Structure 1
Amino acid sequence: MARQKQLEYSEFQAAMLDEAKRRRKAAKIIAVLEHFRGSLAGLTVGDVGCSAGFIADELAAVSKHTLGVDIDVPGLRKAADRFGERVAFVCGDGTALPFPDGSVDVLVFNHIYEHVVDPDAVVAEMHRVLADDGVLYLGLGNKLGIMEPHYKLPFLSYLPERAADRYVRAFGKADHYYERFRTRRGLRRMLRAFHVWDYTFPVLATPERFAGGELFPGVLGKIARAVLGLTPRAVLGLLLPLVPTYIWVATKRPALPVGARLPQPPERVRPL
């Protein structure tokens, strides 16, 4: 069966309306963007897949113009009712963003790609509307993350489509498994038109700097340290292929972060 667009996503995914959690995510996004680009003041920022608008509202506090785009009409109504004076919300498809070429300084695409029918087309559209010196923030779910984040079933995203459908039905989670995750290699192919800077390890290693938190259950780190005798930094590096989320910043031209030097994983355990 062909995948259909996930309309009215906030109506059946309660996490989209969890204001405190969404604002915590926004704090991490802003911290990463400001480390890479510097102040966002005076810039035009777009949140692609904004839903109820909590992240867009936080972006509006640090930028000049903020745009929110989604096909989630109920979510957009809630967003416009609360934040419409600060954010311009638009009902639009990510494969045909309603913005001119090169008109947006910063784009945010956070945990969206697995929900869209054609993520490659959305990425191409973001490349089109992003300014030549613009920055794209990406929160990207990892196919090899052990615990699937939407249904909380281990190894669900590893399975072929039909097996995944049977798995979610067996546990009464859904009629079928909609989301489509990619591996790190697949994500790099999706972003091949961009230059990518990987913030995953720095956010894991220094969560206080990026308003982040644990991306791994503490027990995994404890086991790796106890069994393998590794330092915390080595443990994080070893577990990078299994992180549930990659945090990347992408640009159309080669660029380096303007912020202070970041910690990097040990060479021997850096992912491909």
Structure 2
Amino acid sequence: MTTGRQGHVSPDLASRRLKGLKIERLLGLVPDSTPRDLLEIGCGSGGISHYFATHAQLKFNVEAVDVTDSRKVGDGYRFQQVAGTGLPFGDRSFDVVLSNHVIEHVGECAEQLDHLREIHRVLRDEGACYLAVPNRWMLVEPHYKLAFLSWLTPALRSPYLRMAGKGDFYDCVPLAMSEVERMLREVGFTYRNVCVDALRETLSIEQPKGAARFLRHVPGSLWSMVRPVIPTLIYVVTKAPAFRRHT
């Protein structure tokens, strides 16, 4: 049985452009006369790094890293291949750091904490990180398209995967909301849960008509009730005390 972790790269560059737009809106990024420094960890196909590096209004010097080179587009940004969770950059090097569906791939709890510690180290004091994590309590696991896969205990996940003919080893470690927030506090981050805002932005960008228009007007109090089971947990993460535990 193999226990290697796969990249699970999304090859759809059009979807990466839309994801970049959503990240831009959630982080509240606006034009600035001085170029800022942005790092994408786990850039995959390179679509998001390319989006920010070639943005018509926003000025970014973009660095991207990944453990494999699976890029479909490489224009406008610098790329380095890395091993493990360590980042080849100095302390406080970046104004913006993106970790989009990366933490579930880096390993177990110790490696996940290392991933967050490295983000904390390279992020500038007034910077911001976009952190997206698949929710353990999502109904359908997105990498293998199996219902309730991540609900199982770790010991049962790989047998379920094999029984379904989807692979030999479940190589992801999704997290519940309480686990993500505990890790963020342990590392010393402050954070804002933007799951509901992200869902609204996704609907606004990808499905502006029909049912999506109705859902965008659902009161926030109702969205808050389902926040713990929203498929993707999304946070704006900073070092600023004013953000602490604001959900």
> What interval of TM-score do these two structures reach, taking the shorter chain for normalisation?
0.7 to 0.9
Gaps of 5+ in 1: 223-230, 257-270
**Aligned CA distance change for structure 1 residues 79 and 207 (closer, same or farther; 3 Å):** closer
**Aligned CA distance change for structure 1 residues 132 and 213 (closer, same or farther; 3 Å):** farther
Give the one of 29, 40, 44 matched to 1:47: 40
Kindly report the root-mean-square deviation, in angstroms, between the aligned alpha carbons of the 2 structures.
2.7
How far apart are the structure 1 equivalents of 2:154 and 2:143?
A: 16
Matched residue, 1:110: 100
Matched residue, 1:89: 79
Q: Size of the alignment, in residue pairs?
A: 230
Q: What are the residue-to-residue correspondences of 1:198-237 with 2, within 5 Å?
A: 198-205=193-200, 207=202, 211=205, 233-237=220-224
Give the one of 64, 67, 71 matched to 1:68: 64
Contact 2:13 2:45 in 1 (8 A): no
Matched residue, 1:195: 190
Q: What is the percentage of aligned positions where both structures have the same residue?
A: 33
Matched residue, 1:268: none
- Residue 23 of structure 1 pairs with residue 11 of structure 2: no
How far apart are the structure 2 equivalents of 1:21 and 1:206?
A: 14
**Aligned CA distance change for structure 1 residues 213 and 180 (closer, same or farther; 3 Å):** farther
- CA deviation string 1:89-132 (max 9, x = no partner): 11123522111110111000001111112111011011101111
Aligned AA (1:122): H
**Aligned CA distance change for structure 1 residues 3 and 125 (closer, same or farther; 3 Å):** farther
Aligned AA (2:19): K
Indicate the structure with greater strand content: 2
The Cα shift of 1:31 comes to: 1.3
Matched residue, 1:260: none
**Aligned CA distance change for structure 1 residues 212 and 250 (closer, same or farther; 3 Å):** farther
Matched residue, 2:236: 249
Q: What are the residue-to-residue correspondences of 1:6-21 with 2, within 5 Å?
A: 6=6, 9=7, 13=8, 16-21=10-15
The Cα shift of 1:72 comes to: 1.2
Instruction: Give the 3-state SS of the residue equivalent to 2:240 in structure 1.
Output: coil
- CA deviation string 1:130-177 (max 9, x = no partner): 111111001111111111111111111011123111111111111121
How far apart are the structure 2 equivalents of 1:22 and 1:5?
A: 22
Matched residue, 2:171: 178
Contact 2:37 2:94 in 1 (8 A): yes
Aligned AA (1:24): L
Contact 1:205 1:236 in 2 (8 A): no
Contact 1:133 1:253 in 2 (8 A): yes
Aligned AA (1:64): F
Aligned AA (2:46): G
Aligned AA (1:21): S
Gaps of 5+ in 2: none
The Cα shift of 1:3 comes to: 5.5
Aligned AA (2:23): I
Contact 1:157 1:164 in 2 (8 A): yes
**Aligned CA distance change for structure 1 residues 213 and 72 (closer, same or farther; 3 Å):** farther
Matched residue, 1:32: 26
Indicate the structure with greater helix content: 1
